[in-house]
């Protein structure tokens, strides 16, 4: 069984086995025609349940055959250009190479000797990102276990700064359009149930600065202690970017820690045309960047950056660098990406999807079959089909949800849906530069056709 261990004596087996795996992925990627998981006659759960994990197949090829049936065949459809559902970008090939190297070498960053190069590479990438953010010479950061995990780390640092204040007095002020992870983080830190104050946003989703000022003043009057403001640069639904310079000025006035959630918008850091949209982020005390959302990296690639690196050393209340526990060298994929393609090429790809969203907005805005909300701030579109005759709002909701499901079931496209106010909308998250305006046009036609047919069957012919 030692022949399965990767060693100096097993390199040939390693080469053959990994190549076999890569071949399967490449073949599936080249042949998957559907845009959504196939509705197989035999769903994967029972097939999975039938697999006896105590009886190994003993052969990589056989295991890959099995994996194809329970995973690869249905999963690779999310690499198709009409897969428009999630904040999950395609991975660039240099990152996939980095991931393959990482999987085999697997040097834990905690163990000093074998990881010296890895630790230095991560450091360079943190410095590079901090430089792009403009956080200043004392900045530092760390790769983390996820966007929400980054928020927990940032808020832990903000909490540490408050000293021994009564936790019941602590407040976190967060954008209305912010991610629910802020509440998760506050809960994990043991803050009270009222700790997170949601600050109302304008119709474009951006935090209302006057409302934030009012909340900060109210906290002061009530003897509460705002420990952090969490601004959002790139909200999940609208991609809206909060007015960072104004928010930063308020935070400075009240001495409050400013955390910016740039999970989604961080791709702008590499953009030659659109970097200015993040103006003001340089004033943040901490920033979340999820390279896996807009740098075309795999999900392990994300970090939290801080303006004052000293807060990470020594780690207050366990928030810091986590240098004493084994960490995966997740920075390697970004390193390979920057060394093969360069940042400009990454930024160009993100610009392409932002441009595509603008093009999609024009299409929707000019199309009487649809109502589109807000010109895109990044690369999402929130819209819905509206029938030409007066129809009850609940029926319109149902028609849109039906269209979304019909597209999924047919394998033609995958969209998301979201609630705005009391109503249901459809959402496209455009992160694949291979998606074209023609794809968007075709998807809109299909939505309209499915929704129209649904309403006709329920209410009689439309229009
Ligand atoms: C704006 C924003 N922030 C944070 C997150 C959380 O990221 P993760 O899923 O990596 O925890 C998301 C997830 O979609 C997000 O959209």
Average pLDDT (150-162) is 94
Same domain as 312, residue 241? yes
Residue 90 in any domain: the answer is no
| Final residue belonging to a domain, choices 321, 340, 359 | 340
Q: What gap in Å lies between CA 160 and CA 172, rounded to an integer?
A: 14
pLDDT at position 155: 96
Cβ partners under 8 Å of residue 461, min gap 6? none
Residue 258 in any domain: the answer is yes
Closest CA to 454 of 397, 371, 370, 375: 397
Residue 183 in any domain: the answer is yes
**What is the 361 CA–ligand 1 centroid distance (Å)?**
24
Same domain as 173, residue 129? yes
Is residue 391 packed enough to be buried (19+ CB in 10 Å), middle (13-18) or exposed (0-12)? middle
| 8 A C-beta contact, residue 247 and residue 208 | no
Summarize pLDDT for 414-437 with one digit per residue, the tens: 999 999 999 999 999 999 999 999
Same domain as 354, residue 312? no
The CATH code of the domain that includes 196 is 3.40.640.10
Same domain as 271, residue 146? yes
For ligand 1, whether the C-beta of 309 sits within 6 Å is: no
| 8 A C-beta contact, residue 455 and residue 395 | yes
The CATH code of the domain that includes 374 is 3.90.1150.10
pLDDT at position 316: 47
Q: List the structure tokens of 253.
A: 């006035």
pLDDT at position 393: 95
Q: List the structure tokens of 100.
A: 């393959």
Same domain as 364, residue 302? no
Q: Whose CA is nearest to atom 4 of ligand 1?
A: 147
Summarize pLDDT for 307-359 with one digit per residue, the tens: 999 998 765 444 445 446 678 999 999 999 999 999 999 999 999 999 999 99
Closest CA to 420 of 440, 393, 446: 393
Q: Is the peptide bond before 366 cis (omega within 30 degrees of 0)?
A: no
Q: List the structure tokens of 242.
A: 């909060």
**What is the 61 CA–ligand 1 centroid distance (Å)?**
36
Same domain as 244, residue 157? yes
Residue 93 in any domain: the answer is no
Same domain as 398, residue 297? no
| Final residue belonging to a domain, choices 291, 322, 340 | 340
For ligand 1, whether the C-beta of 360 sits within 6 Å is: no
Same domain as 377, residue 240? no
| Final residue belonging to a domain, choices 287, 314, 340 | 340
Q: How far is CA 192 from CA 126, 166, 186, in A?
A: 33, 10, 8
The angle that helices 343-365 and 437-459 make with each other, rounded to 10 degrees, is 40
Residue 85 in any domain: the answer is no
Position 34 pLDDT exceeds 90: no
Closest CA to 433 of 56, 84, 21, 23: 84
| 8 A C-beta contact, residue 322 and residue 316 | no
**What is the 448 CA–ligand 1 centroid distance (Å)?**
30
Q: List the structure tokens of 196.
A: 């997170």
Same domain as 359, residue 215? no
pLDDT at position 114: 60
pLDDT: which is higher, 184 or 30: 184
53 is in which domain, residue-wise? Answer: 2-74
For ligand 1, whether the C-beta of 264 sits within 6 Å is: yes
Same domain as 200, residue 165? yes
Residue 87 in any domain: the answer is no
**What is the 374 CA–ligand 1 centroid distance (Å)?**
21
Summarize pLDDT for 163-193 with one digit per residue, the tens: 877 889 999 999 999 999 999 999 999 998 8
Tokens 């530092």 map to which residue?
Answer: 140
pLDDT at position 231: 98
Position 110 pLDDT exceeds 90: no
Same domain as 357, residue 323? no
pLDDT at position 318: 45
Average pLDDT (90-97) is 97
Residue 453 in any domain: the answer is yes
Count up the domains in the chain and report the number: 3
Task: Evaluate the CA torsion angle 2, 7, 8, 14 in order and state its sign.
Answer: positive
For ligand 1, whether the C-beta of 290 sits within 6 Å is: yes
| 8 A C-beta contact, residue 356 and residue 437 | yes
Same domain as 228, residue 148? yes
Residue 89 in any domain: the answer is no
Position 78 pLDDT exceeds 90: no
Residue 91 has what DSSP assignment? Answer: P
> 301 in helix, strand or coil?
coil
Position 40 pLDDT exceeds 60: no
Q: What gap in Å lies between CA 369 and CA 286, rounded to an integer?
A: 43
**What is the 194 CA–ligand 1 centroid distance (Å)?**
22
Summarize pLDDT for 375-404 with one digit per residue, the tens: 999 999 999 999 999 889 999 999 999 999
């Amino acid at each position: 069984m030692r022949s399965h261990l990767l060693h100096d004596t097993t390199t040939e087996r390693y080469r053959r086995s990994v190549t076999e795996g890569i071949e399967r992925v490449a073949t599936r990627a080249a042949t998957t025609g559907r845009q959504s998981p196939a509705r197989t006659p035999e769903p994967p759960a029972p097939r999975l349940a039938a697999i006896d994990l105590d009886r190994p197949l003993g052969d990589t090829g056989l295991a890959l055959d099995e994996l194809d049936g329970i995973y690869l065949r249905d999963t690779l459809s999310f690499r198709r250009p009409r897969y428009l559902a999630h904040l999950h970008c395609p991975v660039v090939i240099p990152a996939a190479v980095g991931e393959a190297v990482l999987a085999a070498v697997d040097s834990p960053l905690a163990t000093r000797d074998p990881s010296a190069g890895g630790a230095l590479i991560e450091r360079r990438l943190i410095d590079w990102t901090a430089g792009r953010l403009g956080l200043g010479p004392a900045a530092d950061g760390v790769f983390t276990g996820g966007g929400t995990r980054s928020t927990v780390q940032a808020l832990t640092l903000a909490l540490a700064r408050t000293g021994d204040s009564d936790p019941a007095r602590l407040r976190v002020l967060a954008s209305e359009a912010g991610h629910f992870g802020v509440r998760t983080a506050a809960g994990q830190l043991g803050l009270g149930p009222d700790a997170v104050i949601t600050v109302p946003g304008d119709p474009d989703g951006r935090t209302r600065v006057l409302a934030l000022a009012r909340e900060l003043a109210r906290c002061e009057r009530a003897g509460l202690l705002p420990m952090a403001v969490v601004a959002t640069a790139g909200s999940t639904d609208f991609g809206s970017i909060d007015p960072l310079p104004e928010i930063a000025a308020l935070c400075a006035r009240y001495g409050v820690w400013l955390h910016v959630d740039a999970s989604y918008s961080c791709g702008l850091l590499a953009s030659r045309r659109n970097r200015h949209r993040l103006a003001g982020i340089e004033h943040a005390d901490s920033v979340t960047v999820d390279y896996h959302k807009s740098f075309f990296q795999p999900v392990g690639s994300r970090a939290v950056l801080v303006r004052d690196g000293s807060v990470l050393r020594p780690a207050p209340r366990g928030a810091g660098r986590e240098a004493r526990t084994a960490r995966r060298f997740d920075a390697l994929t970004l390193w390979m990406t920057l060394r093969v393609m360069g940042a400009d090429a990454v930024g160009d790809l993100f610009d392409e999807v932002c441009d595509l969203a603008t093009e999609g907005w024009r299409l929707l805005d000019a199309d009487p079959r649809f109502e589109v909300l807000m010109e895109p701030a990044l690369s999402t579109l929130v819209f819905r089909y509206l029938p030409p005759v007066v129809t009850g709002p609940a029926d319109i909701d149902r028609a849109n949800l039906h269209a979304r499901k019909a597209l999924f079931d047919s394998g033609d496209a995958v969209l998301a849906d979201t609630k705005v106010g009391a109503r249901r909308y459809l959402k496209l998250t455009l992160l694949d530069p291979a998606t074209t305006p023609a794809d968007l046009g075709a998807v809109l036609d299909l939505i309209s056709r499915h929704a129209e047919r649904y309403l006709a069957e329920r209410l009689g012919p439309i229009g």
